[in-house]
Amino acid sequence: MTNRKAAIIGGGVIGGGWAARFLLNGWDVAVFDPDPEAERKINAVLSNARLALPALSDVPMPPEGKLSFAGTMAEAVEGAEYVQESVSERIELKHKVYAQLQQANPGVLIGSSTSGFKASDLQKGSPAPENIIVAHPFNPVYLLPLSEVSGSEKNPPATVEKTVQIMKDIGMFPLVVRHEIDAFIGNRFLEAVWREALWMLKDGIATTEEIDEAIRMGFGLRWGQMGLFETYRIAGGEAGMRHFMAQFGPTLKFPWSKLMDVPEFNEELVDLVASQSDAQSGMYGIRELERIRDQNLVGFLRVLKERNWGAGKVLREHDEARAAAFHAQTDSAPKAEPLVMAHMQVLPGWIDYNGHMTESRYYFANSETIDAFLRLIGAGMDYVTAGHSYYSAETHIRHLGEARLGDRLTGTLQIISADEKRFRSFVRVMRGEDCVATIEQLCLHVDMKAGKTVAAAPEVWAKLKAIAEAHAGLPLPEGAGRAIGQKKG
């Protein structure tokens, strides 16, 4: 099957983040950037992304797409389904880029990473304005899910819908902006905070570090999982937002902020900000800061994912969509060979201090394989809810190889023996043609309320029996029945 292709025009921090996001979600990516350092910079961003994005996933990532660097825009956009433009914020440059892209690939959809230009500004002079739209991300693009999608009256609904779907396909949260507005939603909000911070800095009220501490030690933690209005709604207590507005609404007339009064942007202000910022975090290199940021974001996002809340809900939905595709690649009927029951990948959270898959994950790999098998024979969660389940009685794991970060694993299952009350399974955890572990297990069918072994439901036993009969002619797996420490001979 041919991968989908995206063209990335502009290989800076944002363009590199987009390239990583598409690549790690299985798209082929062609990058065009005349900067002779573009390839090095993109690969540096990609290296960080490979450490971070898979750590948010609980299902295997798709095979990474192919990265190429094009000598021309026409070469980059050839065969591309989508283009993400991330060049400098100069409208004349963007118009020049769109003209070349649309000449080379007239019908291609072009999304712009612009931080402030409206879609109608970007579309001026274009022969096909309907195919140019804003898709504004937040850094790091490969981790943060928000993409502000903003079109103009020249973009038909189908163009907006296609952009939204592409964003969802790479695990992002597309937020469609209702009306055209400069800087969209996020940046308008950030600009207000930025201006106020510059005034407090210039007036000597707080340093860059103190302002950052106010954010990250206080309201920033609330915003990250509830936003602004929901945070204030809770601040109103049981009476909710109406009480909060009654209590704090009058402060809107207080001279607390200088939002419409902007400090003069000059070298003095730049030096003040830069010197304090360098002193605050200059002991770390940029790439090191990026990795620290990424690790913190991964931890925060995983907590949200466990609770199916905020950005974590987007991660869960993306996992579920990809998990469905992997489930479709497993066996669904008896056959005279071990059944392919699970597809897995060694994720960052699976490895130990040696860089190998940690011991508990071998048992987890067996559980994933057995759980899929139980669903196949009709003993899944609905069966458990009804009061019956298969319990593990004995388990023997043999470690035959070393699985490392990023390795793709397959769990296959062979039934050695079975009757109405039990089955004995032999799972192989495969890395390609290599077996990295085997897990032999005896499972008993249990009436959970009575707490004793009973016969399985007739329909479950019928499916298990059919698989056991299909496997009856297979040779006993090498290593089956071995005791710990027993010689192989």
Residue 481 lies in a domain: no
The residue behind tokens 């699976």 is 350
What does the block give as tokens for 314?
């987007």
How many domains does the chain contain in total? 3
**Number of residues that make up the chain:** 489
Instruction: Please give the single-letter amino acid code of residue 470.
Output: A
109 by DSSP, 3-state: which? strand
Residue 485 lies in a domain: no
| Bond from prior residue into 140 cis (ω within 30 degrees of 0) | yes
Residues 425 and 353 in one domain: yes
- The one-character DSSP state at 404 is B
Overall average pLDDT of the 382-395 stretch = 96
The C-alpha atoms of residue 9 and residue 118 are separated, in whole angstroms, by 19
The C-alpha atoms of residue 334 and residue 348 are separated, in whole angstroms, by 34
Residues 212 and 137 in one domain: no
Residues 209 and 267 in one domain: yes
Residues of the domain holding 167: 5-184
| CATH classification of the domain holding 171 | 3.40.50.720
The C-alpha atoms of residue 480 and residue 464 are separated, in whole angstroms, by 20
- Predicted pLDDT at 224: 86
Give bridge partners of residue 414 from the DSSP assignment: 426
pLDDT at 248 over 80: no
What does the block give as tokens for 398?
């043999």
| Residue 154 and residue 129 in contact, taking contact as beta carbons nearer than 8 Å | yes
Overall average pLDDT of the 152-169 stretch = 98
Overall average pLDDT of the 29-49 stretch = 96
Overall average pLDDT of the 238-261 stretch = 76
The C-alpha atoms of residue 269 and residue 278 are separated, in whole angstroms, by 14
Residue 487 lies in a domain: no
Residues 170 and 217 in one domain: no
Overall average pLDDT of the 175-194 stretch = 94
Burial 415-436 (b: 16+ CB within 10 A, else e): bbebebebbbbbbbbbbeeebb
Nearest to 348 by CA among 36, 61, 91: 61
| Residue spans of alpha helices (H) in 358-457 | 359-376, 381-385
- Predicted pLDDT at 222: 86
Q: Tell me the per-residue pLDDT of 86-127, one tens digit each, with 9 for 90 and over.
A: 999 999 999 999 999 999 999 999 999 999 999 999 999 999
Residues 121 and 242 in one domain: no
- Predicted pLDDT at 119: 98
Indicate the residue among 252, 267, 283 that finishes a domain.
283
pLDDT at 265 over 90: no
Residue 450 lies in a domain: yes
According to DSSP, the β-strands at 173-176 and 146-150 are parallel
- Predicted pLDDT at 286: 78
Residue 178 lies in a domain: yes
Residues 158 and 17 in one domain: yes
- Predicted pLDDT at 327: 84
Overall average pLDDT of the 295-324 stretch = 91
Residue 318 lies in a domain: no
Residues 179 and 205 in one domain: no
The residue behind tokens 């974590």 is 312
Residues 409 and 460 in one domain: yes
| Residue spans of alpha helices (H) in 282-420 | 286-306, 311-327, 359-376, 381-385
| CATH classification of the domain holding 373 | 3.10.129.10
> Regarding predicted confidence, which is higher, 261 or 56?
56
According to DSSP, the β-strands at 109-112 and 82-85 are parallel
- Predicted pLDDT at 171: 96
Residue 200 lies in a domain: yes
Residues 241 and 93 in one domain: no
- What share of the chain in percent tops pLDDT 70? 99
Q: Tell me the per-residue pLDDT of 186-227, one tens digit each, with 9 for 90 and over.
A: 999 999 999 999 999 999 999 999 999 999 888 888 888 888
Distance (Å) of CA 3 to CA 26, 81, 142: 7, 10, 19
Indicate the residue among 158, 184, 210 that finishes a domain.
184
Overall average pLDDT of the 236-248 stretch = 78
Residue 489's pLDDT band, with cuts at 50, 70 and 90, is low
Indicate the residue among 184, 199, 214 that finishes a domain.
184
Residues 275 and 346 in one domain: no
Residue 463's pLDDT band, with cuts at 50, 70 and 90, is very high
Residues 244 and 167 in one domain: no
pLDDT at 158 over 90: yes
Q: What is the Cα gyration radius of the chain?
A: 28
Average pLDDT over the chain reads: 93
Residue 479 lies in a domain: no
Nearest to 96 by CA among 70, 75, 124: 124
Q: Tell me the per-residue pLDDT of 411-441, one tens digit each, with 9 for 90 and over.
A: 999 999 999 999 999 999 999 999 999 999 9
Residues 336 and 415 in one domain: yes
| Residue 171 and residue 315 in contact, taking contact as beta carbons nearer than 8 Å | yes
